[in-house]
Amino acid sequence: MHLIATSTAELPFIANEIISSAADSRIFLFYGDMGAGKTTLIKALCGQLGVTEPATSPTFSIVNEYISADNNIYHFDFYRLKTETEALDMGYEEYFYSDAYCFIEWPEKIPNLLPEHYNKVEVVVQPDNSRSVIIERI
């Protein structure tokens, strides 16, 4: 699926499409350059899943947990990891295999630890400053 966002006002619609297209899959890997809008899109996804607290980037904490009436959501930012061992030490598998939603930024930092099946979400900045959001089930 390929969607275009020309403004942040379109993100709730895009977030809904991403969640709907995932069916029962709850692992989402986000790819894109720094500043492409991955965290902003994840905030919209949290809103669509009923999170009422502000969703923030877990750049320094590595993982943030959000709870809605129906879902537990874990938001990871692996940008600062130096080795995959750091993800192992934090017990990443307890999160990934918990049946909670997992939104993972910078998954390229842990290539050998990724689950076999997931939703790949790529955010690409276009020349007109819009964002292409490409969703693929793996």
Q: Which domains does the chain have, with CATH numbers?
A: 2-137 (3.40.50.300)
Three-class SS of residue 8? helix
8-state DSSP, 61: T
Maximum pairwise Cα distance, the chain: 42
Q: What is the pLDDT along the chain (138 residues), one digit of tens a residue?
A: 999 999 989 999 999 999 999 988 999 999 999 999 999 999 999 999 999 888 888 877 889 999 888 889 999 999 999 999 999 898 998 999 898 999 999 999 999 999 999 999 999 999 999 999 999 999
8-state DSSP, 60: T
47 Rama sector, left if φ>0, alpha if ψ -120 to 50, beta otherwise: alpha
Contact (Cβ atoms closer than 8 angstroms) between residue 106 and residue 90: no
> CB atoms < 10 A from the CB of 89, how many?
9
Helix (H) or strand (E) holding 3: strand 2-5
